Amino acid sequence: MDLLLLNFILKNDFRQLASKFPSYYKTLVSKVGGILPQESLKRIQTDFEKGQPKEAADEIQRALQSAENATLNVAVIGQSGSGKSSFINVLRGIGHEQIGSAPVGVVPTTTKKTPYPHPKCPNMTFWDLPGTGTPTSLPNPYQEVVGDDNYDFFIIISSSRFSANDAFLAQKIQEKGKKFYFVRTKVDSDLYNEKKSKPRSFKKETVLHQIRDNCLVNLSKIVSEPTVFLVSNFEPKKFDFPKLQETLLQDLPAEKRYISLLLCPNLSESFIEMKRAMIKEKLWLKAFREAILAFFPMTPFCCGFNLSEQKQQLKRYQSNFGLDEESVSQIAQNLGISEQEIYSLMKSTDFISFLKDDDTIGIVNKCIEFIFSNIGFLPSYVSLSIIIYFLHLKFIDTVAEDAKRVLAKIEEMKPDRKK
């Protein structure tokens, strides 16, 4: 079991905990940052210093609750036809033809500001804002759109040369003191067109560099140190989509990061690793809080081992990694293969194997022996917590590896690979 938790159970030394907690916590967080906001970290440390562990446990609980209940409103704005709806569908992990997708089309399809909640979490909503520059667009869409203060940030979508409309939007959002990200879509078709028109001199990197430069030069007149993300909504695993996701997550306030990360589609192995780290961090924080509370005899501490509850929890992890029944069915449909073929790649479908897993049993036994030999006794709820902690770690690792295998299968079956 990890050292800080064990130390806590064995020594119960709050001063030591206060000095070790922040640096230890850093080792747990994913590369886009952790769940605890800076203020919570400070408060927890001060609570330990003052010998008030119960307050520290409460602070952890508060932070975990706000992480789970966080809301996020993202405004996606840009000219009609630039790919806003398609972009929203990618971010929500929804196929363009799937039920609930934002309608995509060659003629303007969205005339009203439309909310698209994430299918797994209504608290996270993407707003498809009326395309500008069409006959039906609002007389003053910028006011209507930019004037709304509820958005956490804006994403400006542009699909061709940097336009006066792009500049105007960036300027208005900037004046509002809001953050925006500039996304240049359809780079797949730019590359295709360039290759067609200049087959001999075509160089992918040069074309991408030119597109980026054109946007940067213009944006730098509006903001200092602008960033541009070049994406294809048809090939989101390529180009800057994964980097965009990472940047958004990094920039978010800590309490909004957990839900946002879990709801992002798995675009890369590195993304699956970030999810794994953050889910483990949350598990650790819960276990740490329980370890603190276990030393307060009056604290109601119920954590019986209930098989069906554990099965449910495993399903929740599968959902976090995009491997719930609905997602598997969708993946199978997209790839034109049977669901069974996807399930055959997943080891987490065999719940019983987790209960018999020798590694988990071994590590739990070692932990329990270690505690027993150090303090001479072991309350039953502590041993139960230890079992559940390691079982969940195994769940998370197994599901994360499943997600990687499924991702590899999706890559392998991509149409351009099959040729």
Q: How near is the Cβ of 209 to ligand GDP at its closest, in Å? A: 18
Q: Is 218 in the site for Mg ion (CB under 5 A)?
A: no
Helical H segments across 224-357, by residue range: 241-251, 254-263, 269-293, 307-320, 325-335, 339-343, 351-355
Q: Closest approach of Cβ 89 to ligand GDP, in Å?
A: 8
Report whether 392 contacts 287 (CB < 8 A): no
Q: According to CB under 6 A, which one of 53, 81, 141, 322 is a site residue for ligand GDP? A: 81
| Count, residues near ligand GDP per rule CB under 6 A | 21
The verdict on 163 binding ligand GDP (CB under 6 A) reads no
CA distance 21 to 229: 37
DSSP 293-318: HTT-TTS-------HHHHHHHHHHHH
Of 190, 173, 176, the residue nearest 83 (C-alpha): 190
Q: Check residue 233 for interaction with ligand GDP (CB under 6 A).
A: yes
> How far, in whole angstroms, is CA 78 from its chain's centroid?
24
Beta strands in 32-105 (DSSP E): 72-78
d(C-alpha 238, C-alpha 232), whole Å:
7
Residue type, 58: D
Beta carbon nearer to ligand GDP, 3 or 106? 106
Smallest separation (angstroms) from Mg ion to the CB of 313: 38
Does position 158 interact with Mg ion (CB under 5 A)? The reply is: no
Pairing of strands 121-128, 114-118: antiparallel
Site string for ligand GDP, 88-107 (x = CB under 6 A): ----------------xxx-
233 binds Mg ion (CB under 5 A): no
Pairing between β-strand 114-118 and β-strand 153-158 as defined by DSSP bridges:
unpaired
Q: How far is the CB of 118 from ligand GDP (least distance, A)?
A: 18
Our CB check for Mg ion shows the closer of 84 and 289 to be 84
Are the CB atoms for 326 and 100 separated by under 8 Å? no
Nearest residue to ligand GDP, using CB?
Answer: 83
Residue 188 is a binding residue for ligand GDP (CB under 6 A): yes
Instruction: Please pick, from the candidates 40, 45, 79, 85, the single residue that binds Mg ion as defined by CB under 5 A.
Output: 85
404 binds, options ligand GDP, Mg ion, none, Cβ within 5 to 8 A by partner type: none
Give residues 109-148 in contact with ligand GDP (rule: CB under 6 A): 109-110, 131
Nearer to ligand GDP, 22 or 108 (CB): 108
The rounded distance, in Å, linking the Cα atoms of 54 and 128 is 45
CB of 222 to ligand GDP, least distance (A): 21
Please state, in angstroms and rounded to a whole number, the distance separating the CA atoms of residues 267 and 245: 9
Residue 241 CA, distance from chain mean position: 13
For Mg ion, the binding residue among 110, 165, 245, 348 (CB under 5 A) is 110
Task: Report d(CA 229, CA 181) in Å as an integer.
Answer: 8
Residues that bind ligand GDP (CB under 6 A): 80-86, 104-106, 108-110, 131, 185-186, 188-189, 232-234
What residues line the site for Mg ion (CB under 5 A)? 84-85, 110
